[in-house]
Amino acid sequence: MKKLTKRNPKHLSILTNLYFKYKISFNEIVPIYLDLVKYKIPITSHISTLDEVKKKINNKKSDIQVDDILQYIPSYYNHRDVNTRVRNLIKNNLEHSDIIKSFLENGKYRIYELYTKIIKLLEESELEWRKENINYKENEFIFSNEDESILILKISTLHRHKTLGSLNWYDVDEWKWRGLFKQSKKHTEYFIYDFNKKKNDDKSFISIIIGPYGQIAECRLYSGENFDISEDITYRKYLKQIPDFKYFTMDDYWKKDKIY
C-alpha cells in the first residue's frame, strides 16, 4: 500500500479505509482505489457497502461520458443549456452513444426539443426497417408495391410531418407550414420509403413536395440534403403513383412537357 501511495501519502488512508471497511483483497482494492483518486471521489461514512462505492464510480464515469457526448453539440449552441432530464436520458442509453453523437453533431434541432428528439431517435433505432413499423394513418396511404418494399404517404399536417419525418431534417415552423401548405393549399408533401435499402442509407426515406403546377418544389434525402430525384431511376418509376406529380421542374411546366 505504501508503495502504491508513495507519491501522495494522503491516499494511504483511502486504501486503508477500503481494506478494513469492506474486507477486500489488495488486488480488488487497487482498481477501485485508482478510480477513486482519478475521479476525486471521497469515501465518506454514509457509503456503507462496496457496491455503493462501485456505483459512485460508475456514475462518475457515466457523467463524464455524457459530457463527452454533449461536446458534439455545435458551437452555436451552448451544451450547458442542456437540462438534467436530457442528461439522464443520455446517461441511461450510453449503449447508443454513437447514434446520439451523430444526431447531435448535425445540429438540426432546437435545444429545448432535445428530449423528445432523442426519445424518437432511440425508438427508431430499436425498430426493424419495414412497412409494419411505420405508424401511418389510413388516410395517409397512397401506394405500396406488391412486396411492400416501397411505401408512399401523403402528409397533411405539421404534426404528422414532425412525427413521421426524419430527425435529420430542419424543423418546419408553424408559420412556414401554414404559408406553404395550409393557406395557399397549393403544395403537397409526400414521404417515400424504400425498405429494400438499409435504414441508414440516405435514399431509404425521402420527402418530396409537389408544387401548385405539379412540379417538384423540393426533395430531401434522409440526411436532409437536397436530392434531384429526376436522376434516380429507382424512384422515377414510383413518382407516377403520386397523384399531384406532373413535372420535374418549372421549365418542364412552361414547355408543357409532362412526364406521364
User: Is 26 part of a structural domain of the chain?
Assistant: no
Q: Say if 7 falls within a structural domain.
A: no
- 10 belongs to a structural domain: no
Is residue 165 situated within a structural domain? yes
Domain contains 137: yes
Q: What pLDDT shows up at residue 257?
A: 59
Q: How many domains does the chain have?
A: 1
Closest-CA residue to 209 (of 251, 165, 252, 174):
165
Q: Is there a domain that residue 92 lies in?
A: no
pLDDT at 113 over 80: yes
What confidence tens digit (pLDDT) does each residue in 33-92 have?
A: 788 778 887 766 555 677 877 888 899 999 999 999 999 998 888 777 889 999 999 999
Q: Could you tell me how many residues make up the chain?
A: 260
How far apart (Å, rounded) are the C-alpha atoms in residues 199 and 222?
A: 9
Give the Å distances, CA to CA, from 61 to 54, 71, 172, 247, 260.
10, 16, 37, 56, 60
Beta bridge partners of 150: 194
Residue 72, domain member (yes or no): no
Q: What whole-number distance in Å separates Cα of residue 178 and Cα of residue 183?
A: 6
For 162-202, write each residue's pLDDT tens digit.
Answer: 889 888 776 666 667 776 665 555 788 999 999 999 888 88
Sorted by sequence, the CB contacts under 8 Å of residue 17 that are 6+ apart come out as: 43
Q: Which residues contact 35 (CB under 8 A, 6 or more apart)?
A: 41, 57, 61
Range of the domain at 137: 131-254
Question: Which residue, among 68, 74, 71, has the nearest Cα to 106 in the 3D structure?
Answer: 74
Q: Residue 35 in contact with residue 43, Cβ under 8 Å?
A: no
Q: Is the residue at 169 inside a domain?
A: yes
Query: Quick one: pLDDT band at residue 111, thresholds 50, 70, 90?
Result: confident
Instruction: State the average pLDDT over residues 247-260.
Output: 67
Output b/e per residue, 110-126; b: 16+ Cβ within 10 A: eeeebbebbebbbeeee
Q: Which of 172, 168, 245, 175 is nearest to 209 (CA)?
A: 245
